[in-house]
Amino acid sequence: MNAAAAGFALICFDGLNLLIDQRAVVSLENITKLRGVNDDMKTSEVMEGNACEVHSLTANLVVTNKVDARCHYIIVLQADEHRFGITVDSVMSLPIQDTKLHSLPACMNISESPIKAYIQNEDRIAFCCDVNTLWWHINSSENRHECRT
């Protein structure tokens, strides 16, 4: 995976540890920058000054009804031609040139999933997440509790 050369951002939310290619990270914002668009669009709020949708995800990558106010930060990501944010509890840079990426076992490998690999650090597991596939996953209606109108 080419991302190993640039390193990863390790983001955490809802107990899930995700590794994101650092080249896909646009910025890290404080959650206080969020402003709601309207009451009917709670899944897709917009950040001031850098308009993009912001989502909260569960540990199973399901989009939640409301942005999780317990999260402190928003990480803004760039997928192909789309910019979006997700709320996170924490973010740290992870230079992992020496860390081995493992493919998921064949029985868990789903072609549409943004999760294809993981790293292990003793008992801690972090999953590598492809940002382009994550964007498509978030925007497919079946993965949203509440569809936009």
Q: What is the binding site for another protein (CB under 8 A)?
A: 16, 59-61, 102, 104-110, 113-115, 118, 120, 122-123, 125, 127, 137
Question: Min. distance of Cβ 94 from another protein in angstroms?
Answer: 17
Residue 60's CB is within 10 A of a number of other CB atoms, namely: 8
Spatial separation of the C-alpha atoms in residues 75 and 126, rounded to whole Å: 17
Burial class of 28 by CB neighbour count within 10 A (0 to 12, 13 to 18, 19+): middle
Hey, what are 82's tokens?
């789309």
Of residues 13 and 84, the one with the C-beta less far from another protein: 13
3-state SS class at 18: strand
User: Smallest distance from the beta carbon of 33 to another protein, in angstroms?
Assistant: 26
CB-wise, 37 or 125, nearer to another protein? Answer: 125
Spatial distance between the Cα atoms of 134 and 148, rounded to a whole number of angstroms: 18
Q: How far is the CB of 37 from another protein (least distance, A)?
A: 27
Q: Which lies closer to another protein via its Cβ, residue 17 or residue 29?
A: 17
**Smallest separation (angstroms) from another protein to the CB of 80:** 20
